[in-house]
Amino acid sequence: MKTYDAVIAGGGIIGASIALELASAGLKVAVFDTQKPGREASWASAGMISPSPESPAMASLLPLSLASVRLYPEFIGPVEELSGQSVGYRKDGALDIALTEEEARGLSEMLPQHRAAGLRAELVNPQQARELQPLLSSEVCSAIHRPDEASLDNRLFTEATLEAARRKGVEIFSGNGAKGLWFEGSTCAGLQLETGCVAARWTVIAAGCFSARIEGAAPYAPVIPAKGQMMALRCNAVRLQRDLWLGHNYLVPRNDGRIIAGATVEYEGFDRSVTAAGSRQILNAALSLLPGLDKARIEETWAGLRPDSPDHLPILGPTDRNGLLIATGHFRSGILLTPITARLVREWITSQKVSVDWAPFSPMRFQHMRQTRTA
Ligand SMILES: Cc1cc2nc3c(=O)[nH]c(=O)nc-3n(C[C@H](O)[C@H](O)[C@H](O)COP(=O)(O)OP(=O)(O)OC[C@H]3O[C@@H](n4cnc5c(N)ncnc54)[C@H](O)[C@@H]3O)c2cc1C
């Protein structure tokens, strides 16, 4: 039987980045995936690196988000160098748009919270907003400019991180996923794969919204899929200068000229279909922001499954089984939280200490659900 220092179930951006970080610290690491790695949520994403909480309920994520934003340059540097691939990182900022008085009030209410967290954010009038984004709708009521927000091409990023991990010696197995955890008493001894067992001192569950399907993992990672429909537009008449937000919908520019438009949030199990209603929602928002996009070509539509947890917060950290860690539940923020997730898992595995408090995201916080279910 093969033995590693660490085995990781899941080769999305979370599993790939943890593998890279651990291999860079000198560990012998393997990643196991049911399919070709990097083809699920990490592929479907919009790639925004946006730490501003979308609602007051998400404010508890801020320390983690800000730490991740700070780590981004030092994380992608080695990824690009080792893989020889660009990840399309761009720090253009974002404009959050209000088209009605009610939306404007909602934006103003979030402003003090963003500023208190140290995020640069300023209220701009319609004329200033149109200077920041030419051809913006004449209906704009007000906007918030957040100059420090960034984005990258998540497909390139995931591919490049997997390649960088390979070059650091990580063994990546496609089509050989985890069926279950391998427990020996209170210790997790590794994974049960389709092809037999693999032993490791450390086992990390990073299988995105599929994590709860791995036998033994569900009590620690009770995640469900939250479907997001997306589309890619191309339009010579409109040049998107920065991320634009309208409520929970957005437009994101890519270096190759495409405009990524999203997204729905739907709870439909593991269904990945693109629907008429989903496309209508995305196009309505896109055309309300930039009416000139009515000439845009729809180049691609797709849907992906975000890993969502019962409280919509990530599930990160050790469990009551020796050697077992969970890194999932990143919901709408997995790209944003990639560098800090990889860093904290590496710190725990190499020194059993972490530089940012991850207790609020502990996999043990769901134990009461387990007790209720068995009661
Ligand atoms: C439409 C959409 C837009 C998004 N936009 C953003 C954004 O702008 N910014 C942001 O920060 N986040 C965004 N997200 C969220 C982000 O993409 C996710 O949180 C992140 O990609 C999750 O990464 P992951 O590696 O945990 O999961 P995934 O990428 O889903 O990877 C999980 C991997 O596990 C594998 N797997 C499944 N079962 C098993 C098994 N039994 N054994 C082993 N492997 C298994 C899968 O094949 C897959 O490769 C978006 C997500 C979607 C869907």
Residue-by-residue pLDDT tens, the chain, 375 positions: 899 999 999 999 999 999 999 999 999 999 999 999 999 999 999 999 999 877 777 788 999 999 999 999 999 999 999 999 999 999 999 999 999 999 999 999 888 888 888 899 999 999 999 999 999 999 999 999 999 999 999 999 999 999 999 999 999 999 999 999 999 999 999 999 988 999 999 999 999 999 999 999 999 999 999 999 999 999 999 999 999 999 999 999 999 999 999 999 999 999 999 999 999 999 999 999 999 999 999 999 999 999 999 999 999 999 999 999 999 999 999 999 999 999 999 999 999 999 999 999 999 999 877 655 544
> What pLDDT shows up at residue 374?
46
> What pLDDT shows up at residue 372?
53
Residue bearing the CA closest to ligand 1, atom 22: 334
For residues 6 and 27, give the distance between their C-alpha atoms in angstroms, rounded to a whole number. Answer: 7
* Test site for ligand 1: of 35, 39, 40, most ligand atoms within 8 A of the Cβ: 40
Is 230's C-beta closer than 6 angstroms to any atom of ligand 1? yes
For residues 36 and 319, give the distance between their C-alpha atoms in angstroms, rounded to a whole number. Answer: 28
Residue bearing the CA closest to ligand 1, atom 16: 334
For 67, list phi and psi in degrees, rounded to 5.
-60, -40
Is 162's C-beta closer than 6 angstroms to any atom of ligand 1? no
Is 210's C-beta closer than 6 angstroms to any atom of ligand 1? yes
Is 314's C-beta closer than 6 angstroms to any atom of ligand 1? no
Residue bearing the CA closest to ligand 1, atom 18: 334
Is 225's C-beta closer than 6 angstroms to any atom of ligand 1? no
* Test site for ligand 1: of 21, 31, 33, most ligand atoms within 8 A of the Cβ: 33
Distances (CA, A) of 258 to 46, 261, 316: 12, 10, 34
Distances (CA, A) of 125 to 50, 61, 143, 244, 345: 22, 29, 6, 15, 43
> What pLDDT shows up at residue 112?
87
State the sign of the Cα–Cα–Cα–Cα dihedral 353, 355, 360, 361.
negative
* Test site for ligand 1: of 18, 42, 252, 265, most ligand atoms within 8 A of the Cβ: 42
Bridge partners, residue 31, by sequence? 8, 172
Contact indicator for 184, 132 with CB cutoff of 8 Å:
no
Residue with tokens 């994974």: 191
Give the closest residue to 358 by CA, choosing from 332, 337, 375.
337
* Test site for ligand 1: of 32, 45, 157, most ligand atoms within 8 A of the Cβ: 45
> What pLDDT shows up at residue 52?
87
Bridge partners, residue 260, by sequence? 232, 252
Is 8's C-beta closer than 6 angstroms to any atom of ligand 1? no
For residues 170 and 41, give the distance between their C-alpha atoms in angstroms, rounded to a whole number. Answer: 22
Confidence (pTM): 0.97
